[in-house]
Chain A
């Protein structure tokens, strides 16, 4: 158990819908990262937050957004969902950017 929690574990929804994935980092960790894992793209970095502020952006679609709240939990919002958005979404946290990242168990999103 890494100490990073993600909810829900599974999510099944339809095209065009919007979902919110939630992540609680390890106690004391200020940085939160979101990654997408799919069969065709592998593991891809989406976005990073540090102490409530966006720090870095990767291959994140405009239909996706995220935020980190004052209690340091983070949410990833996915809207106008397409079939291709079906993937495993991981959250990771670290004390600061230059430390190792600890991953949560992931949320498996299925878009039908």
Chain B
């Protein structure tokens, strides 16, 4: 069964500093990987996705993520955080053999301090 682990429940970062959110997945075949962001009271917005090809993917809002098969990781990064980046971030994995349904990590809450 596929599963996703986000080791950090909460991260606090200063505005302008860099941000890295960790995601580890467990799945036998090549998964489809996603990062979503959820602002308070809002739905989930897709930040970026990895299906195949280049292991460094660019997303919206200045985010990028790198797929590392050897480490079963798909970490999300942003070089310079803005106050509007305060939200909860979810890593998700899907796979053809599992009908593409998404399994989500528990989420990482990001707080941005001035």
Q: Residues of A at under 8 Å CB distance from B? A: 2, 4, 31, 33, 35, 42-45, 48, 55-56, 58, 90, 92, 94, 97-98, 100-106
Contact = CB atoms under 8 A, between A and B. Distances in A.
B32 A98 contact: yes
Interface stretch (B20-28, B70-78, B94-102): B94-102
Interface of B: 32, 34, 36, 42-46, 49, 51, 90, 92, 96, 98-107
Contacts of B96: 97-98
Contact of A48 (B34, B45, B90, B101): B101
B110 to A, nearest CB: 17
Contacts of A2: 43, 45
SS class, residues of chain A in contact with chain B: strand
The residue in B34, B42, B45, B100 that gathers the most chain A C-beta atoms within 10 A of its C-beta is B100
